[in-house]
A and B are shown apart, each in its own frame.
Chain A
Amino acid sequence: MNVDYLVNSLYLIKPELAIASALVLLVLIDLIMGNNKKFLPYVAIAGLIAAAYFIIGQFGMNSLAFVSKSNKGMIIADPFGAFFKGIVVFASLFVVYFSIKSDEIKASFERHGEYYTLIFGMILGMFFMISASDLILIYISLELVSFSSYVLAGFTKTALRNSEAALKYVIYGGVSSGIMLFGISILYGITGSTNLYEINSLIQSSSIPNLTFILSGILIFVGIGYKISAAPFHFWTPDVYEGAPITITAFLSVASKAAGFALLIRFIKITFIKSVDSAGYWQLVDLIDWKTFFIFLSIITMTLGNFAALWQDNLKRMLAYSSIAHAGYLLLGMAVLSNQGMIAIIIYFAVYAITNLGAFFVVMLIANKIGSENIDDYKGLGYSQPFLGVSLAIFLISLTGLPPTAGFIGKLYLFIALVDAKMITLAVIALLNSVVALYYYIRVLKNLFLSRPANGTFEFKVSFSNGLVLVLLAAPIIILGIYFTPLVDLAKNSMQILGF
């Protein structure tokens, strides 16, 4: 190992380096400037833009960083990773903007330095999670994301529901990452390697004790399933989403989930794949029946999420359950186990990210003014604040998946993938679930537009910059709902994972 080798690898992780430098810069500014904290968000935005610039460069790359004699490479730079990193940066940019505007965050002014530093710690962890190809790096980056988000979930520590959310998060997170680590240790024992590519070539060539391998695979999935809040591991989601500051809720529901799904896809595809046939279906190694596993998991995840959302009165909590349901839909794309399913996941995720950020932004703006997230307090919003009301309606309709919004395109591609793979029953179940989802989203819309407002509830103005950001989030949903070719092209370009 020499300096050249190190420098060559560093070229491949430029986005991570940009984020890490921004993190150090944020700490230094917080140290030096003391009480003058107004530069922090601008430094954060500058760091994110730099990272975005480097990520665009990664769309053409296809190589491994930190290769050595004993390891086939720790980090992958490929279009697939670049797409999900792009989602993370996109979400982070908006979340930094939300944080500037959120009263909840403004209230704990003296700790803003920590706030942005921790957000950047989370972004760094997600970047490594998205591009890791080694179990050690996967575990450490997962924990980096988790620790930062535990602290952020309890950031405004004077509010009881914040600390409670943080404690629940830390307990569930600690347990599931412990379980995942045990699975990793067993997998290491069976294969003698922590590199996903090496494990793949090993399980293809030699015979592996079947039962132990299934055990380790399921145990590792617990850790990933907790990050994407799939059904048996979702218990933290509603509590944390409701209790955490709303900016963090938006960030967790988009960026954290994006990193989790990227990790899941990469883990399954690199570790277990035997070959990809001409129609794009993945032939997996015959050790774990991932297909049945994912079908089962996605059905319970979306059913549970949708039905539990039916009787929620807090809009944040309802969106939490709806995000669980969306994790279920995304797992459907995994269950197809084909390139087509993966394209569907990518399209769905791009749409979901924009929509969810928008929905949480409206909830935040209203909570800033009326101090409530209760659905009943939204009565008549559509009359007194038509702009906010209509944008929230657009976001909710897109989350339901009705045309002419982009949410419809996401669901459409998912169902096409399911039907092509001859999984009609599953498609029908997903469709029925969407009908259930329609009911609880419509309930909000009913409150918005069909009830008369109580006097003087919504006497406030949306500032120009907030309105602009809202338009920036709402317009793509309508535009992509009608003209979706660029989105599909992007998805096709970014589905390439190194090696297969």
Chain B
Amino acid sequence: MHVPIEYFLVLSAFMFITGVAGVLTRRNAIVIFMSVELMLNSANLTLVTFSSYIGNPVGQLFVFFVMTVAAAEAAVGLAIIIALFRNKQTMNVDEINILKW
């Protein structure tokens, strides 16, 4: 069965928008990180789609690296959230406000 490339691209654009909206509207630091991961994964989907559409493996190679980077990002982000939680006992980004203007 042949699925047109537009379907994949629309899906990945939708995922990307969902990720951006999640970052902008959610207040829990962990949910924000999940949204960021969603953005990275939407880019992955685009890369794989184009890679198979163009017939050039570089895109899939890129996806491997992006997956590694995403894991490292999650690790660093969660570690920082834990460090902050120990000091402040909250994960709400609105309450993290010593530094401002």
Contact = CB atoms under 8 A, between A and B. Distances in A.
A–B proximity contact (CB within 8 A): yes
Interface of A: 70, 135-136, 139-140, 143, 147, 150-151, 154, 157-158, 160-161, 163-168, 170-171, 174-175, 178-179, 181-182, 184-186, 188-189, 192-194, 238-239, 242-243, 308
B10 interface: no
Interface string B31-54: 011001001101110110110011
Contacts of A147: 72-73, 76
Q: Which of A158, A163, A193 has the most CB of B within 10 A?
A: A163
Contact of A158 (B54, B61, B87): B87
Contact of B46 (A160, A168, A178, A185): A185
Given A143-B73, A194-B62, A242-B99, A185 B84 contact: no
Contact of A182 (B32, B39, B61, B80): B39
A188 B56 CA distance: 10
Contacts of A70: 58
Given A182-B42, A182-B46, A184-B43, 5 more contacts: A154-B83, A167-B84, A168-B99, A174-B73, A239-B99
B99 A165 contact: yes
Contacts of B88: 160, 163-164
Nearest to B84: A163
Given A185-B46, A238-B99, A150 B66 contact: no
Given A170-B77, A188-B50, A178 B19 contact: yes
Contact of A167 (B39, B40, B81): B81
Contacts of A171: 23, 29, 32-33, 36, 93
Nearest to A190: B50
Nearest to A240: B99
A164 B96 contact: yes
Dominant secondary structure of chain A at its interface with chain B = helix
Contacts of A164: 84, 88, 96, 98-99
Contacts of A135: 62
3 closest cross-chain pairs (CB), A and B? A178-B39, A189-B50, A185-B46
B3 to A, nearest CB: 16
8 contacts: A70-B58, A135-B62, A160-B98, A182-B39, A185-B47, A188-B62, A189-B46, A189-B50
Interface of B: 16, 19-20, 23, 29, 32-33, 36, 39-40, 42-44, 46-47, 49-50, 53-54, 56, 58-59, 61-62, 65-66, 69, 72-73, 76-77, 79-81, 83-84, 86-88, 93, 96, 98-101
Nearest to A186: B46
A429 B96 CA distance: 36
A179 B73 CA distance: 14
B36 A174 contact: yes
B58 A175 contact: no
Contact of B43 (A160, A182, A243): A182
Given A139-B65, A186-B46, A192 B87 contact: no
B36 A157 contact: no
B16 A182 contact: yes
A194 B69 CA distance: 18
B69 A140 contact: yes
A178 B99 contact: no
Nearest to B66: A181
Contacts of B69: 139-140, 143
A154 B47 contact: no
Given A136-B61, A194-B58, A174 B33 contact: yes
A168 B93 CA distance: 9
Contact of B87 (A163, A175, A188, A189): A163
Nearest to B96: A164
Q: Which of A164, A182, A192 has the most CB of B within 10 A?
A: A182
Nearest to A169: B80
A308 B23 CA distance: 25
Nearest to B55: A192
B12 to A, nearest CB: 8
Contacts of B40: 178, 181
Nearest to A137: B65
A407 B93 CA distance: 39
B54 A192 contact: yes
A181 B33 CA distance: 16
Contact of A150 (B20, B65, B80): B80
Contacts of B84: 154, 160, 163-164, 166-167
B73 A167 contact: no
Nearest to A239: B99
A238 B43 CA distance: 29
A140 B67 CA distance: 11
Nearest to B36: A174
Given A166-B84, A182-B39, A188 B58 contact: yes
Nearest to B77: A170
Given A70-B58, A136-B62, A163-B80, A175 B99 contact: no
B46 A170 contact: no
Contacts of A168: 96, 99
A167 B29 contact: yes
Contacts of B29: 167, 171
A185 B43 contact: yes
Contacts of B32: 171
Nearest to A160: B87
B43 to A, nearest CB: 4
A157 B50 contact: no
A393 to B, nearest CB: 27
B83 to A, nearest CB: 4
